[in-house]
Structures are given as structure tokens and as C-alpha cells.
């Protein structure tokens, strides 16, 4: 090797392509890992369904509910069917700090309004009014098969779960788009973000009117028929919609993508990819010195507000209860110190470089798909506005552990400076004084109906999170 080559190798940073560097065994592991992940994506398309999934998993793996009083090292708490925390007690006292990984289990989608059902009497169609949730590109949600998920709570308190459109023989729904022939004024003359107004996102629900031979002049017979069908299937009345939570998501399953099957295409990978990988990581954690916690948060896509979002007191309360559970002091000073002593990975997806839009990324600082999990010092917009901006000392510690344990990692910022921006849960967790850094895989087409990830990065995220729990 020439001197220059040698020095270059020794002195320069070069991110590593996972597939190029991995042994056959490691590549196979990455490929196999994504099988369970795809199943999870298919079962858990909403935050409620994610919590249902983890509730089953926790039961199978013999974790104990912290409130059950049972003594165990493996504990959890699920809250309001929408968020939760999983903990694995370590050898050291909790007050010396925990290692926590936070991700979110909500994804951008289109919700039904509280009073959704109406009839377009002129053309005899039953429709549902919608109100979108999170940062969607509205034009992606028209002319595509949608499934309806959610819950009704009936007057007697009974909860009825809804899922229509996921099984092969289920019907699906659609928000009809305008044909190009007639879109000149309504759409083509507008900016792309304004081309489809939120008021035009009404869902086509049904089209056969209720027939009553004795009454030929029924008002809104199509709407009536929709109510009849819903009552037959779920036992609900129209007023049960008023309190319901009903969400439209892309119908269908996550699939392998690419001729080499190296990628996964599916809805809701932001951020269920981190929820799944961090949960698998804690399930496989052995001999952890510090207590490991996986925190599954809701409502990140609308600002982490609400009592199931990361800004709520849930996780602080859980850690306080963990102290008590472990027979440690749990007064507010001890709790504060515990949080300040803690280390947190804010596990959320990052923008992978889109081959069609290189110009919004800065290649040397952006995430390359297939090059492993990314470590992101800061997010935010403009001059790092609204960002956690992790400390160099903590940043270096995490990177060193990943290097030592052969985790395929890379640095990754969201986009070019002043190109736009976005935030994660990191800053809300940092408010409690812990060390926090963003760490998660890259995604192409984030917030679209079909997000794309690399199996290399899914597996690398899992490995990174497991390493963090065992070594950090």
C-alpha cells in the first residue's frame, strides 16, 4: 500500500456500506430480521394496534405489569391503549441513571371527522368527512386503496374494534381524485401543496340506497343504508361516531422491495421501525448494568402533545415507580438526579438521500440507505432552531461503543441547511436533564403511503439499540 493510501485509510472518515462489509452470516441475519418486522407492520398500523401487538409480545415473554405487584426484572406499563414503557432492571441502582430508547408508534394518516357520514343526494353516494393527522402530502391519499381502523365506544361502555380493508376478501375504500381531463383549473393551476384541499378528502363509503317498498321517498337512503350495515356489523348507532377514533391508512401489506429484496416497502415505518427494533433489542438484552427502558410514545406526528405524547408525565412517572419498585428512594430530588444521570437515544427515522433529489441533501452529512443506522447530533430547522444538539462527549461515547461492537453506523443530518427541517422527541426528553442523541435508520419517501427502508439499516438499528442497552 502506498504511503498516501495508508494515510488516507488511517486519517479519513468513510461511511461503510453494510452489504459490502458484512459477512454472509451477518447479511443473512439482516435479511431474516426483516421478516418479523414486516409482520409487525402488517398487524400494527395504528398506535392502538401497536400497543396490542406489544401487549401480546410482553405476555409471551413473561414480562410483568409494574402495577401487578409481581417481583421481576422484566416489567412494563401500557397506558390508555396508546403508549407504554418496557423495562429490564440492571445490576446497578436505577438512581445512577437508566439507558432509555424512545420511539413513536403513531404515523401520519387521515382520520374520520367526529360526525363523518353524509350523503351526496344529487348522485346518491354515501361519504365520510375526514381530518388528516400529521404531515401528509394530501395528493398522495387520493385514488389509492385505504383501510379503516379504529374503535367505537358504545353507550354501554363496550369497545368495538374496527379493521376493514386488510384481509384479501375485505372491501377497501377510496378518496376519488379528479380526472386529468377536468383538472386544469381545480388542480393544475395551483401549487402542488394547494392542489388538493383538505375539504376534498372525502371518502367514498357506499352507493346502494336502503330500499323500502312501502316508502319510496326515503331521505338520504344511501346514508341510511350505511348506518344499517354498520349497525349489523358492529352494533353501533350514528352517535357512536361522535366519540370514536377512526383512521384511514393505506390498505395492504408491507413487501420486499428491489430485485435483490434488500429493502422493505410499507406504511408507517416512521416510526414503527424504531419501536420494533428497540423492543426486539431490549428482549435480547443480557447482563445490562444499567436499567434498560423502551418508551413507545404516541402523538409525535402532531407535536408530542396530549397525555399519551412524549411531553406528558407518563415516562417520568414510570421511572419514579421503577425506583419504588426496586426499593430505592423515589423522592423528587432522587428522581431528578436519576433523569440527569440517564442516557437516551431518541430513536426516529431520518431522511435517506433520495436519488431523484440529491439537491435537498448534503451528501457528506446525510443518511445513505444501506449504510447502517444514523447518529444525528442535531435536527431542527434554520440555525438548528428547535433542536436538542447532543453534547460532543455523549456523541463520541455512543459512536465509540458502536465502533467497538461492529454496529454499522453513519452520521446523518436531515437535509441541507435552510432547505426545510423537522424535529424529533429528543428535545422533550432533554428537558429532564438526560444526555440525548438522535439515532435511527434512514427512510425514502418519509410520510408517504409507502415508505422505503433498507434491511441493512433495520438490522443495524436493532444491533445499535441492543449495544446501547448492554454497553452504554
Residues that bind Mn ion (CB under 5 A): 270-271, 348
Q: How far apart are CA 220 and CA 264, in angstroms?
A: 44
Toward Mn ion, which CB reaches closer, 270 or 298? 270
Considering the complex, state which of residue 38 and residue 272 has its C-beta at the smaller distance from Mn ion. Answer: 272
Q: How far is the CB of 435 from Mn ion (least distance, A)?
A: 20
271 vs 435, beta carbon nearer Mn ion: 271
User: Which secondary-structure segment (H or E) carries 437?
Assistant: strand 435-440
Check if the beta carbon of residue 328 is closer than 8 Å to that of residue 93. Answer: yes
Residue 97 or 412: the one with the smaller Cβ distance to Mn ion is 412
The grid cell for 172 is 377497501
CA 73 to chain centre: 27
Query: What minimum distance in Å lies between the beta carbon of 373 and Mn ion?
Result: 14
Residue closer to Mn ion by CB (options 306, 433) is 306
* Nearest residue to Mn ion, by Cβ distance, number only: 271
Shortest spacing between CB 378 and Mn ion, in angstroms: 16
Whether residue 271 has a cis bond before it, omega within 30° of 0: yes
Q: Is 459 helix (H, G, I), strand (E, B) or coil?
A: helix
In whole angstroms, how close is the CB of 145 to Mn ion at the nearest point? 22
Least spacing, CB of residue 361 vs Mn ion, in Å? 17
- What whole-number distance in Å separates Cα of residue 190 and Cα of residue 459? 42
Q: Are strands 380-381 and 421-422 parallel, antiparallel or unpaired?
A: antiparallel
CA-wise closest residue to 66 among 81, 46, 52, 85 = 85
Please state the closest distance from residue 106 (CB atom) to Mn ion, in A. 9
Asked whether the CA dihedral 401, 407, 413, 414 is positive or negative, the reply is negative
Which SS3 state, helix, strand or coil, does residue 256 take?
strand
Smallest distance, Mn ion to C-beta of residue 102, A = 11
Q: Which of 243, 290, 283 lies closest to 98, judged by CA?
A: 290
Nearest Cα neighbor of 151 from 142, 141, 163, 143 is 163
Considering the complex, state which of residue 386 and residue 433 has its C-beta at the smaller distance from Mn ion. Answer: 386
DSSP 431: T
**348 vs 457, which CB is nearer to Mn ion?**
348
Amino acid at each position: 500500500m502506498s504511503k498516501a493510501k495508508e494515510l488516507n485509510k488511517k486519517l479519513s472518515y468513510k461511511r461503510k456500506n453494510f452489504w459490502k462489509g458484512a459477512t454472509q452470516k451477518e447479511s443473512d441475519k439482516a435479511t431474516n430480521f426483516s421478516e418479523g418486522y414486516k409482520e409487525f407492520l402488517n398487524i400494527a398500523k395504528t398506535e392502538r394496534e401497536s400497543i396490542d401487538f406489544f401487549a401480546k409480545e410482553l405476555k409471551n415473554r413473561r414480562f410483568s405489569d409494574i402495577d401487578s405487584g409481581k417481583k421481576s426484572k422484566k416489567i412494563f406499563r401500557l397506558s390508555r391503549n396508546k403508549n407504554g414503557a418496557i423495562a429490564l432492571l440492571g445490576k446497578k441502582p436505577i438512581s445512577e441513571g437508566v439507558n432509555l430508547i424512545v420511539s413513536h408508534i403513531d404515523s401520519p394518516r387521515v382520520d374520520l371527522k367526529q360526525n363523518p357520514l353524509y350523503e351526496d343526494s344529487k348522485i346518491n353516494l354515501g361519504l365520510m368527512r375526514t381530518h388528516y393527522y400529521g404531515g401528509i402530502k394530501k395528493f398522495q391519499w387520493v385514488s389509492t386503496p385505504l383501510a379503516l381502523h379504529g374503535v367505537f365506544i358504545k353507550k354501554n361502555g363496550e369497545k368495538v374494534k374496527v379493521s376493514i380493508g386488510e384481509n384479501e376478501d375485505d372491501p377497501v375504500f377510496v378518496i376519488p381524485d379528479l380526472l386529468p381531463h377536468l383538472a386544469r383549473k381545480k388542480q393544475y393551476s395551483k401549487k402542488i401543496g394547494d392542489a388538493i384541499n383538505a375539504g376534498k378528502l372525502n371518502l367514498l363509503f357506499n352507493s346502494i340506497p336502503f330500499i323500502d317498498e312501502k316508502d319510496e321517498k326515503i331521505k338520504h337512503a344511501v346514508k341510511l343504508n350505511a348506518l344499517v350495515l354498520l349497525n349489523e356489523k358492529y352494533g353501533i348507532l350514528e352517535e357512536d361516531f361522535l366519540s370514536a377514533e377512526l383512521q384511514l391508512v393505506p390498505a395492504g401489506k408491507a413487501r420486499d422491495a428491489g430485485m435483490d429484496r434488500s429493502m422493505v416497502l410499507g406504511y408507517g415505518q416512521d416510526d414503527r421501525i424504531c419501536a420494533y427494533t428497540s423492543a426486539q433489542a431490549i428482549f435480547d438484552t443480557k447482563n445490562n448494568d444499567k436499567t434498560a427502558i423502551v418508551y413507545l410514545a404516541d402523538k409525535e406526528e402532531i407535536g408530542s402533545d396530549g397525555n399519551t405524547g412524549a411531553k406528558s408525565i407518563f415516562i417520568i412517572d414510570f421511572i419514579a415507580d421503577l425506583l419504588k419498585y426496586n426499593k430505592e428512594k423515589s423522592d423528587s430530588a432522587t428522581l431528578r438526579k436519576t433523569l440527569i444521570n440517564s442516557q437516551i437515544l431518541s430513536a426516529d427515522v431520518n431522511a435517506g438521500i433520495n436519488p431523484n433529489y440529491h439537491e435537498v441533501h448534503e451528501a457528506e452529512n446525510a443518511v445513505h440507505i444501506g449504510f447502517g443506522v444514523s447518529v444525528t447530533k442535531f435536527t431542527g430547522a434554520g440555525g438548528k432552531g428547535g433542536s436538542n444538539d447532543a453534547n460532543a462527549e455523549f456523541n463520541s461515547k455512543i459512536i465509540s461503543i458502536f465502533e467497538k461492537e461492529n454496529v454499522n453506523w453513519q452520521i446523518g443530518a436531515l437535509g441541507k441547511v435552510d432547505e426545510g427541517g423537522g424535529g424529533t422527541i429528543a428535545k422533550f426528553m432533554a428537558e429532564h436533564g438526560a444526555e440525548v442523541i438522535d439515532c435511527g435508520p434512514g427512510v425514502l419517501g418519509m410520510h408517504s403511503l409507502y415508505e422505503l427502508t433498507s434491511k441493512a439499516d433495520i438490522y443495524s438499528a436493532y444491533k445499535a439499540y441492543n449495544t446501547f442497552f448492554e454497553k452504554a
